[in-house]
Structure 1
Amino acid sequence: MNPPTRKAPSPVAFIVIAALVGVHVLAWQGTGFSPGALVEGWRGMADFLSQSFPPDLGVLGDSLDAAVVTLYIGLLGTTFSIPFALLLGVLASRATTPNSWTYQIARSILSVLRSVPDVVFALIFVTAVGLGPFAGVLALVFHNTGVMGKLWAEAMEETDPGPREALRVAGASGAQTAVNAVLPAVLPQMVGLLLYRFDVNVRSSLVLGLVGAGGIGFLINQSIKLFRFDQMVTHIIVVVVVVVLVDQLSAYVRRRLAT
């Protein structure tokens, strides 16, 4: 019995592979990627590590206080975005918004909010309200509204069309259809996405502190500027513990919701 013959790759496959290789070569050159430079910089890395260890535990109290502020930023940035994300999510879902103009406008708003990084929002609000956690909360509210509204809108569109079509035939309005058919069906998934976003926002609030939006990221930035790398390591250890705890708590709640 003759073995099955393999089909030769098509010319399109060769073109795609060649294009991918070419793009990676351009990216390598454009970014100045150089493993040799990393190897040659071992002395600087060794000096950095020697100044970082042992960690300075004298700043542990300040680090823990700042970590709590970071959690507050992530919490408020998530919860305060819920009403805006819910409204835009309903308007940006074809399951709840038959009007094409309303749908497109809501989608465009979500795209704009989602495309602007939270760090950029933080820089904008720092100039508006000054340094501190309030700017970080505002930045997360705006960015998270775009992300969470998009996720919720897509979740609504995946619901069973049967119940909502039955309500529409019975004369229900779009709001009544959303409240009585769509939102109850997708509520567990929406809560799971919300918890996931809270997890992400806590991590994001660490970065926002680097641009003056408060929290433990601000202390990390200060430590780097003062060349107190031993203090920086203490702050980073606290960050790792906080992130792991939030991740475990979020995963536990999502598992409970799924059962």
Structure 2
Amino acid sequence: MAERRGATVELREVTKRYGDTVAVDHLSLTAPAGRITVLIGPSGCGKTTSLRMVNRLIEPTSGEILIDGQNVLTEDPTQLRRRIGYVIQQVGLFPHRTIGENVATVPELLGWPPARVRARVDELLSLIGFDPSRMRDRYPAQLSGGERQRVGVARAMAAEPPLMLMDEPFGAVDPIVRERLQNEFLQLQRAQGITVIFVTHDIDEAIKLGDRVAIMRAGKLVQFAPPGELLARPADDFVAQFVGSDRGLKRLALLTVGGAEL
């Protein structure tokens, strides 16, 4: 049972226009607290734009975005981003700072006492499978791509955010490393109880990681459902084609021996 509670995120009729182009069209959905909500769809469907509007890296044209009932559009953007974890494919570690210093970035910005920062850094390094005494003082260039991605996730979690936004974080690593990172991330997310909104283009990743999956097309939400429901009852032909002709096999992978969906 996680000690920390994630935030509930609500998007209400959120729209983003660039001139005459509508990137996101009246998107409404709720990302439940402590769960992973995956946004997926073809290129240009609006999934990354939707993600980046939550922490205001992109400003919505209209609509409301609420985190635990508070409208993010009324907050200072810098303060908002400091309480939301953010992980991208390119990681973005500071090359001149050690692994420990990278993980400590946001807690230090928030003024945490040094002892608390160090304890949190060591806790997270241990959680991602590192020996803190060995890895704390290394630099990003000394790590593999998969190891750097782990550090990126740890840094995003360092200030105990109630919410993490993840934009194709495992897309740049090979399939074997990706599967291991996915498994480790699921364990870490459950242990920390953080709400996650996760963008991917990979339907298998969406089904594996998502508690709920939002399929988007041309800026609109086509279906929003748990993976099992998505596979069993696709909303239309587009969803059926998108999840694949092998959706029956994918659904079996969600079942336990007793027949209950995970």
Q: Which has the larger strand fraction?
A: 2
Q: Which has the larger share of helix? A: 1
Task: Give the TM-score taking structure 2 as reference length.
Answer: 0.24
Superposition TM-score, scaled by structure 1 size: 0.24
